[in-house]
C-alpha cells in the first residue's frame, strides 16, 4: 500500500517505508522515502486533487499499478541504500 498523510509533515526527518509482500520474505520489497519524496509522488499523480487528500488530509492506494511502481523504483531499498538513506536524514 502507498499512503501519505499531511499530518506526517510535522515529523522532522520522517522516513516513510512501504513494505510489499511482507508475508513472503523472498518476494518482499521495501521502499523508503522522505516525506518530501513521497509528497512529490502524490503531487505527480492525481492523488493531490482527490477528495481524500483535500478533505481528509491523506491518500492511500492498495494496488500500485505500473506507473506508481516505476515512480517508486529509485527508492527500492538494499542494504547499501539503507545506509545512504539513513545518513541522508541524519
The pTM assigned to this predicted structure is: 0.85
Report the alpha-carbon distance of residue 46 to residue 65 in Å, rounded.
14
User: Which pLDDT tens digit goes with each residue over 54-90?
Assistant: 999 999 888 878 899 999 999 999 988 998 888 888 7
Identify the burial level of 60 via C-beta atoms within 10 angstroms of its C-beta, where 0-12 means exposed, 13-18 middle and 19 or more buried. Answer: exposed
For the chain, the domains span 2-89
| Helices vs. strands in the chain: H and E counts, helices first | 4, 4
Amino acid at each position: 500500500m502507498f499512503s501519505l498523510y499531511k499530518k506526517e509533515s510535522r515529523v522532522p526527518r520522517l522516513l516513510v517505508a512501504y513494505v510489499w509482500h511482507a508475508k513472503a520474505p523472498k518476494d518482499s520489497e521495501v521502499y523508503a522515502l522522505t516525506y518530501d519524496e513521497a509528497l512529490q509522488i502524490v503531487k505527480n499523480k492525481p492523488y493531490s486533487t482527490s477528495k481524500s487528500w483535500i478533505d481528509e488530509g491523506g491518500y492511500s492506494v492498495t494496488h500500485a499499478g505500473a506507473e506508481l511502481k516505476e515512480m517508486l523504483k529509485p527508492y527500492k531499498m538494499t542494504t547499501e541504500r539503507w545506509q545512504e538513506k539513513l545518513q541522508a536524514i541524519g
